[in-house]
């Protein structure tokens, strides 16, 4: 993870358990480099997993990371909407609201 501003809870864990977070970040980097998927696709996959596991913070994080990696708002929304038949509309709707938190009304 780059030295961008971290969300509050992540910053707390990073401060209290720095070696743990460092190892976690190294694992994330290692798995992204392990295969042929580009960063944009990898973050869209991780966004979908975050939505499926109902992790609001991870949806926020991977939305920001997907944008930084070149994903458009339309691609991000589509990655989440594709989950409807797998995770159901209520969970998809919640995930879309978390994406909306990051992208805002202009990207909807």
Question: Is it true that domain 38-107 has CATH number 3.40.50.1860?
Answer: no
What is the average pLDDT across 56-75?
Answer: 95
3-state helix, strand and coil shares in percent for the chain, rounded to the nearest 5 = 75, 0, 25
Judged against a pLDDT cut of 90, whether residue 38 lies above it is answered with yes
Residue 76 scores a pLDDT above 80: yes
- At residue 22, the pLDDT reads 94
Rounded mean pLDDT of the chain?
A: 91
**What are the extents of the domains in the chain?**
7-36, 38-107
The whole-number pLDDT of residue 9 equals 84
pLDDT at 2 over 60: no
Per DSSP, the three-state class of 32 is helix
Euclidean distance between CA atoms 108 and 85, whole angstroms: 21
């Amino acid at each position: 993870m780059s030295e961008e501003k971290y969300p509050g809870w992540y910053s707390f864990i990073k401060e209290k358990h720095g070696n743990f977070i460092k190892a976690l970040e190294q694992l994330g980097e290692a798995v992204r480099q392990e295969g042929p998927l580009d960063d944009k696709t990898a973050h869209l996959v991780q966004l979908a997993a975050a939505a499926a596991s109902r992790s609001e913070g991870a949806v926020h994080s991977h939305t920001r990371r997907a944008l930084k990696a070149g994903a458009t708002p339309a691609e991000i929304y589509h990655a989440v909407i594709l989950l409807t038949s797998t995770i159901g509309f209520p969970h998809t709707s919640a995930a879309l609201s978390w994406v909306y938190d990051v992208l805002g009304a202009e990207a909807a």
